[in-house]
C-alpha cells in the first residue's frame, strides 16, 4: 500500500473505506464501534471510541489483523510470529490524547545508582507457560513489571489512595506499608490516604492520612489498619468520590470479587476519560487466583496450619484410638490443606473440595479410618472448609442458597458435622474413640505475615507503584513463573484456581498419606481439556 496516499494533515496514515482491503480487515464491519481508524508512522494501530482515543502497538500488518479481532472484545492483545501472544494491560495513552510524560525520579535515586539497568525495557514480557516442546508455539505472555524511563505523574500532583476489601489475610498491612514507602521513597509522593472500611468507605466513611511514620511498624501486626468489609461496591458512587476528592491513583487490595470491582471502577474511569490509575494487588489466603504463582499470605497460612496439625497429632497419639481432626480454609480450592499436609507428614487423610469422597461402604472414609486406627492406633485428618458440602446438605437437608455480601455462597460447617458422623459410626460399632476437633481459621487469618510473605508483599507493592507511575492502568500485579507481571483484570477474574486432582501434586499427597482417592467408580471422570491445560501450565 502506498502510504503517501493515506497521510493525513496530522501526520498519521489514515485508511479510507476504499482501501480497507489492503489492510486486511473491513472498516465498515468495525466502524459501528470505532469512529475512526488510523496508523501512525510506526504502524501503531489507533482506534477512536466515544470516550477518547485507543491505541495498540503492533510491529507488522500481520499482527494488526489479529489484534483487530481482539479489540472487538475490549482486550488489548498483540500477536507475533511462532504463536507469540501478549495479553497487554491498558495505558493512559490508550484513551487520553498525548498525555505528558516526565523523567523517572529513580534515575536520581541513590538506592538505584548501583543498578546496572535502572529501567525495564518496554518490550520485556514474561511467558505464562515455561514447559514447552521444540515445536510448541511461544504462547501467552504478560508485560513485565518494573520501573520505566518515563512516568505519567509529577510527584507533587499525585494523590494516591489505598483500600483493603474482603476477608483478612496475613500481609495486608505489609502491602499497605510498602505502597506508602514505595511512593514516598522512590517517587517522592507526599499525599497518600487510606480508605476506611473497604469499598463503601469511598462514599460512607472518612479517609486516613498515610505517611512513613504512620506505617512504620504496621507490618508487625495482623489484620489491616484501614479496616475492611465485604460488599458495598457502588461503581458510580466510588468513582464520583474519587473524582470529587481529586484522587488520581487507586490501589485495591482484595480477592477475585474485589478485583472484579476494581475492573468495574477502571472501566467507569476510562469511560469518563479521567487520568486516574487503578491497580489491583490480589489477596486470597486460599491461593485460588489463577495465572499467578501464589498469593501473599498463603505461605504464612500453611506454616500456621502446621501448628494446628502438630497439636492434633499430639492429641491423637496421647490416647487410645485417637483422632485429631483439623479444619482449614479453602472454600472452593484445597491448596492450604494440600500443602499443609505435604509439609507436615503427620497427616493420614486430607479431604478437599476438588476431590469427592463418601463415608460408608467399601472404599469409604469410615472404612479407611478403621483400617488406620487398627494399624497405628491414632490418626490425623485434615479437611478444607468447602469439602463434602454435598454430603452435608444431603444428610441434613439444609442446603442453602444464601450468600455473603461478597457474593460467596454460605457454607455449612463440615468440621462439626463430620466429627459427629465419625463419633456416631464408632458408637454404633461399640468401639472406643477419642476425637479432638481443631478449627484454627481465625487464628491463621489474623496473624502477621512471615518472612517469605513479607518479601512477597514488598515486591507486589513496589511493582504496582512502578506500573501506575508508568501510566499503566486496569491491571493486577502478580508473580508469573518467578517474574512480576502486569495482568489484565479479566484474566484473574474469569475463573478460580483449583487443585487438579489428576495432577502430580495431588498424586504426591496421596503417596504421602497413603490414603485412597475415595472416589466412587461413577465419580471418576476423564481428564478434560481444562485440567490438561492446567496441568501442563504447572508442569
User: Which residues are documented as binding site for Mg(2+)?
Assistant: 256
**Residues linked to residue 313 through DSSP beta bridges, in sequence order:** none
Strand segments, DSSP code E, in 196-346 are 207-210, 249-254, 277-282, 322-328
- Contact (Cβ atoms closer than 8 angstroms) between residue 351 and residue 386: no
Cell numbers for 217: 511498624
Sign of CA dihedral 132, 133, 139, 143: positive
Residue 32 burial class via C-beta count within 10 angstroms: exposed 0-12, middle 13-18, buried 19 and up = exposed
**376 sits in which H/E element:** helix 365-376
Residues 6+ apart with CB under 8 A from 35: 48, 49, 50
Print the SS3 string covering 394-433: HHHCCCCCCECCCCCECCCCHHHHHHHHHHHHHHHCCCCC
- Of 4, 71, 62, 60, nearest in space to 37 by CA: 71
- Contact (Cβ atoms closer than 8 angstroms) between residue 518 and residue 509: no
The C-alpha cell 514507602 sits at: 181
33 alpha-carbon distance from chain centroid: 31
d(CA 459, CA 465): 10
The residue from 94, 196, 286, 346 that is catalytic is 286
Helical H runs in 209-255? 235-245
- Of 117, 194, 190, nearest in space to 148 by CA: 117
Binding positions for ATP:
167, 230-231, 255-258
d(CA 224, CA 164): 7
Q: HSE on the CB side for 103, CA within 13 Å?
A: 6
The C-alpha cell 470529587 sits at: 244
Q: Is 217 a catalytic residue?
A: no
**Residues linked to residue 195 through DSSP beta bridges, in sequence order:** 207
d(CA 509, CA 339): 8
Residue 506 vs residues 130, 350, 352, 510: alpha-carbon distances, Å: 21, 10, 11, 6
Residue 217 vs residues 168, 220, 245, 461: alpha-carbon distances, Å: 18, 6, 28, 16
So which residues are the catalytic ones?
286
Amino acid at each position: 500500500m502506498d502510504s503517501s496516499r493515506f497521510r493525513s494533515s496530522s501526520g498519521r496514515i489514515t485508511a479510507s473505506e476504499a482501501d480497507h482491503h489492503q489492510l486486511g480487515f473491513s472498516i465498515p464491519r468495525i466502524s459501528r464501534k470505532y469512529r475512526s481508524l488510523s496508523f501512525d508512522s510506526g504502524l501503531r494501530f489507533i482506534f477512536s471510541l466515544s470516550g477518547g482515543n485507543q491505541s495498540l502497538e503492533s510491529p507488522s500488518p500481520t499482527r494488526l489483523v489479529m489484534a483487530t479481532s481482539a479489540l472487538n472484545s475490549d482486550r488489548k492483545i498483540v500477536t507475533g510470529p511462532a504463536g507469540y501472544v501478549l495479553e497487554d494491560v491498558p495505558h493512559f495513552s490508550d484513551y487520553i490524547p498525548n498525555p505528558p510524560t516526565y523523567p523517572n525520579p529513580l534515575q536520581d535515586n541513590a538506592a538505584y545508582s548501583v543498578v546496572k539497568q535502572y529501567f525495564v525495557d518496554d518490550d520485556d514480557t514474561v511467558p505464562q507457560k515455561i514447559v514447552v516442546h521444540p515445536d510448541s508455539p511461544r504462547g501467552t505472555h504478560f508485560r513485565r513489571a518494573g520501573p520505566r524511563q518515563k512516568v505519567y505523574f509529577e510527584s507533587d500532583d499525585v494523590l494516591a489512595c489505598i483500600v483493603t476489601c474482603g476477608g483478612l489475610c496475613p500481609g495486608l498491612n505489609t502491602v499497605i506499608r510498602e505502597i506508602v514507602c514505595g511512593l514516598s521513597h522512590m517517587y517522592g509522593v507526599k499525599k497518600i490516604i487510606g480508605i476506611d472500611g473497604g469499598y463503601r468507605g469511598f462514599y460512607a466513611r472518612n479517609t486516613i492520612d498515610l505517611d512513613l511514620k504512620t506505617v512504620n511498624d504496621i507490618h508487625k501486626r495482623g489484620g489491616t489498619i484501614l479496616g475492611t468489609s465485604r460488599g458495598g461496591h457502588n461503581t458510580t458512587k466510588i468513582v464520583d468520590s474519587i473524582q470529587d476528592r481529586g484522587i488520581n491513583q487507586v490501589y485495591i487490595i482484595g480477592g477475585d470479587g474485589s478485583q472484579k470491582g476494581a475492573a468495574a471502577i477502571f472501566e467507569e474511569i476510562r469511560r469518563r476519560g479521567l487520568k486516574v490509575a487503578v491497580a489491583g494487588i490480589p489477596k486470597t489466603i486460599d491461593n485460588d487466583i489463577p495465572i499467578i504463582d501464589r498469593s501473599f499470605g498463603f505461605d504464612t497460612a500453611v506454616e500456621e496450619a502446621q501448628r494446628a496439625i502438630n497439636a492434633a497429632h499430639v492429641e491423637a497419639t496421647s490416647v487410645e484410638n485417637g483422632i485429631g481432626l483439623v479444619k482449614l480454609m479453602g472454600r472452593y480450592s484445597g491448596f492450604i490443606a494440600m500443602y499443609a499436609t505435604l509439609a507436615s507428614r503427620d497427616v493420614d487423610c486430607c479431604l478437599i473440595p476438588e476431590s469427592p469422597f463418601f463415608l460408608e461402604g467399601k472404599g469409604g472414609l469410615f472404612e479407611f479410618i478403621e483400617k488406620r486406627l487398627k494399624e497405628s492406633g491414632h490418626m490425623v485428618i485434615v479437611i478444607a472448609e468447602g469439602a463434602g458440602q454435598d454430603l452435608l446438605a444431603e444428610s441434613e437437608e439444609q442446603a442453602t442458597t444464601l450468600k455473603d455480601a461478597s457474593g460467596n455462597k454460605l457454607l455449612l460447617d463440615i468440621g462439626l458435622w463430620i466429627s459427629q458422623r465419625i463419633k456416631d459410626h464408632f458408637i454404633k460399632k461399640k468401639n472406643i474413640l477419642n476425637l479432638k476437633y481443631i478449627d484454627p481459621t481465625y487464628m491463621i487469618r489474623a496473624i502477621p505475615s512471615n518472612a517469605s510473605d513479607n518479601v512477597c508483599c514488598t515486591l507486589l507493592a513496589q511493582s504496582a507503584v512502578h506500573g501506575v507511575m508508568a501510566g499503566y492502568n486496569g491491571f493486577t500485579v502478580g508473580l508469573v513463573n518467578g517474574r512480576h507481571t502486569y495482568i489484565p483484570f479479566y484474566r484473574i477474574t474469569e475463573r478460580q484456581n483449583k487443585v487438579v486432582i489428576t495432577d502430580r501434586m495431588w498424586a504426591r499427597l496421596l503417596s504421602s498419606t497413603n490414603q485412597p482417592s475415595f472416589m466412587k467408580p461413577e465419580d471418576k471422570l476423564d481428564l478434560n481439556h481444562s485440567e490438561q491445560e492446567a496441568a501442563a501450565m504447572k508442569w
